[in-house]
Amino acid sequence: MSSEGFVSAPLYGSFMADEDLQYQTRAFVRDLLLATVTTPSSRDKQRLPGPSDLADPCDVCVARKIALSCGMAIEKSNSRNFSLKAWNGTAVHQKIERDLPGVYPHAEQEITVEIAEVEGLGLVKGHVDLYLPLQKAMCDWKTTDLKKLNVYRTSGVPASHFGQTMLYMYGLRRSGRETEVATLAYIPRDSNKTSDFWVASCSFREDVALGLLERARELTALVRSGEATGLQPDQGCFVCMVQPRLR
């Protein structure tokens, strides 16, 4: 029997398929799982940069996403770009979205809000995970690892997470929803304890939202004029600075 088998021959011998059939079945199930897990969601297919893209502190990465959205760059299809961690995060979001109404029926979930029109790019929209009208608050679910979460607890949440929530709040206010507080609820993937959940909060900062939108306009103008090649990456950018050294 193949070493990948998981039943003992003496006990289950009469139910065991031959080696070729087992191999073919394992291959089929693996391909089935891979195809299902990597099927793009509606958010994956979104081409126009959203709040999480525009809040990225790296000008080079934001410009790259803008160029892609404007049809001025070609996105390479590469299965290595798929993130299983991101997929797990999506699964967590869907589970919360399904179960939360039975716990707290006053919440609004998965709200699409119009944030602002960016010249040369289009109407930027955002998808708000949770809006609490009675609390005048919004919440963004974030899955992470305990190691990162411990850093966030001591040093503060990443600038991109903060900026993202400000754009969400800006869009919620534009839609007529009173929003005073933003919360980021962090769920560690590698913990078995609900006591490791951590929620950060902040008040609305319109200046931050407007600043990110103005940067988006400036970067869009540079991309469309072909002058974005001189942009410098953020020194802490994983994609631009760290990942190349790991290859």
Task: Count CA within 13 A, CB hemisphere, residue 221.
Answer: 8
In the chain, the amino acid numbered 79 is S
Q: What is the pTM of this model?
A: 0.83
The pLDDT of residue 11 is above 70: no
Q: In what order do the strands lie in the sheet with 181-188?
A: 108-118, 122-132, 137-144, 181-188, 198-203
User: Is the confidence at residue 49, as pLDDT, over 80?
Assistant: yes
Q: Across residues 84-96, what is the average pLDDT?
A: 90
Measured distance CA(175)–CA(142) in Å, rounded: 24
Tell me the pLDDT tens digit for each residue of 196-212.
999 999 999 999 999 99
Pair of tokens at residue 166 = 């400000």
Quickly state the pLDDT bin for 19 (edges 50, 70, 90). confident
Alpha helices in 187-242 (DSSP H): 206-225
Q: How far apart are CA 60 and CA 71, in angstroms?
A: 16
User: CATH 3.90.320 spans which residues of the chain?
Assistant: 51-71+86-246
Q: Which CATH code, of 3.90.320, 3.10.180, 1.20.120, 1.10.287, is assigned to 51-71+86-246? A: 3.90.320
Beta pairing partners, 75: none
| 23-32, 63-72, 182-191, 224-233: which is most confident | 182-191
pLDDT in tens, 103-123: 999 999 999 999 999 999 999
**17 pLDDT more than 80:** no
Confidence of residue 75 (pLDDT cuts 50, 70, 90): low
Name the CA dihedral angle for 160, 162, 164, 168, rounded to a multiple of 10 degrees: 180
